[in-house]
Amino acid sequence: MSKKIVLILFSLLLICGCHKKNNNSDINTIIEENKNILVGINYPITTYKKIDTLIENDVEKIYNSFKEKYENFNSLTNKSELNIDYTYNIVNDNFLAITLNVFIDSSKLDKPTNYIKSYVYSIKDNKILTLEDLVDLKNLKKITKYINSSIIRTYGECIDINKFNEKMKPDFNNFSLFSFDEDNLYLYFNEGEISYEYCGLIEVIVPLNKFKSVINIKGKPKDNTKISIPVSKVIDTSKKVVALTYDDGPSKYTNELLDVLKDNDAVATFFVIGNKVNIYSDTLVKAINNGNEIGNHSYNHKWLTKLTTEDFKKQISQTQDVIYDNTGYTPINFRPTYGSINSNIRKNINLNVVLWNVDTMDWKYKSVDRIVSRATKKTNDLDIILMHDTRKRTVEATKKIIPELKKQGFQFVTVSELQEIKKIRNKYE
Ligand code: ZN
């Protein structure tokens, strides 16, 4: 029985003419897993050498020291995890403000470590800035007063009063961790700096409008235009289908991958990391416009089964929000990081959980042909193939995988289409 089903997908896209971002920016991603460790690292590449080198060196140091300590530490209970997340504010034509949030958990430690590193850069001056470059002493006194009462109000009994009093003196050296955007100045104090260790990291938000002359930043309004693009497509549900999926992007390789898919008249599903979406919003819009599907792969690639329910839900909702804000599209599928899932996640997720049947191991194998062979040799009807759009070799492999699978009679569908086809077949068989 042969049935041709036309799947018509209407998607309302918010094509942002969002104010000009630094379009040359990239996010570097390192995702690794072996029997003892899990590594999930994302950090921005601004293309300004001075700040990029500084950040890369810091990340490398953290990564190497983590590996040295934990790669050969075989815990019976849990793997050790390193996660580096970031914030990246392109404040205006001149200022870039970046923070790295470093998280390390291991059964070697009493409790997870969590700390911030911050970098503020002036493009005009080619200089890494301290708070002193942005605020004069008079204003620092005002700010100190403000954060003093703000910290006491929010953190109260957590504060180690001796350390706190010392740190609240209006001395620029006391405020080395900071960041800002168009609206706020953010000051950070790492664990134990002004509070007792168990209180964790302290962040103070200082609204800039309270301190008008502190930092002169003028924001440009966002310009959003809504357009609606219908996508129609014919799939023969009696014939073999396969879903290509790409995790851990978007990245600087995704754009080319989209062209490869389009040139081969194929589509795929991209399980994206939320914290990379802002930088690659144009790529994501293009992916959707070309008929591809976007799925949720958490906000910063943390090991989700170890999070509290509340933190897990936040990982999902933040990612849903940032995808919607940038594209007008709402994902319905979710892929757990490291393929790791438990009943708590299943209970607390309102998206379809999507794993895979074919693992290309493209993050590990350097040979394109080996990746192609893993993707094409044992693939069956309705299979989902796992790849990662974070490396050039995966783009090269895709160029060969699609024609080979087509030769075997496969049609390329998104994960949602694949699920739809399963339902249709069940109905008629
Ligand atoms: Zn992943």
Cα–Cα dist 323/345, whole Å: 21
CA of 303 to the centre of ligand 1 (A): 10
CA of 93 to the centre of ligand 1 (A): 33
Whole-angstrom distance, CA of residue 287 vs CA of residue 275: 17
Selecting among 247, 362, 383, 389, the annotated active-site residue is 247
Distance CA 412, CA 405 (A): 9
CA nearest 41: which of 23, 28, 57, 50?
Answer: 28
Give catalytic status of residue 311 as yes or no.
no
CA–centroid distance, residue 335 to ligand 1 (Å)? 8
Per-residue pLDDT of the chain (429 residues; tens, 9 = 90+): 445 554 444 433 333 333 344 457 899 999 999 899 999 999 999 989 999 999 999 999 999 999 999 999 888 778 999 999 999 988 888 889 999 999 999 988 888 999 999 999 998 889 999 998 888 888 888 889 989 988 988 888 889 999 999 999 999 999 999 998 888 889 999 988 998 877 888 999 988 877 765 555 443 333 333 333 445 567 888 899 999 999 999 999 999 999 999 999 999 999 999 999 999 999 999 999 999 999 999 999 999 999 999 999 999 999 999 999 999 889 999 999 999 999 999 999 999 999 999 999 999 999 999 999 999 999 999 999 999 999 999 999 999 999 999 999 999 999 999 998 998 888 776
Which of 135, 138, 44, 41 is CA-nearest to residue 96?
44
For residue 287, the CA-to-ligand 1 centroid distance in Å is 19
Per-residue CA distances from 241 to 163, 237, 383 (Å): 63, 8, 8
Q: How far is the CA of 246 from the centre of ligand 1 (A)?
A: 9
Query: What are the phi and psi torsion angles at 207 (to 5°)?
Result: -65, 130
Identity at 308, one-letter amino acid code? T
Distance 411 CA to ligand 1 centre (A): 25
**Predicted structure pTM score:** 0.79
247 is catalytic: yes
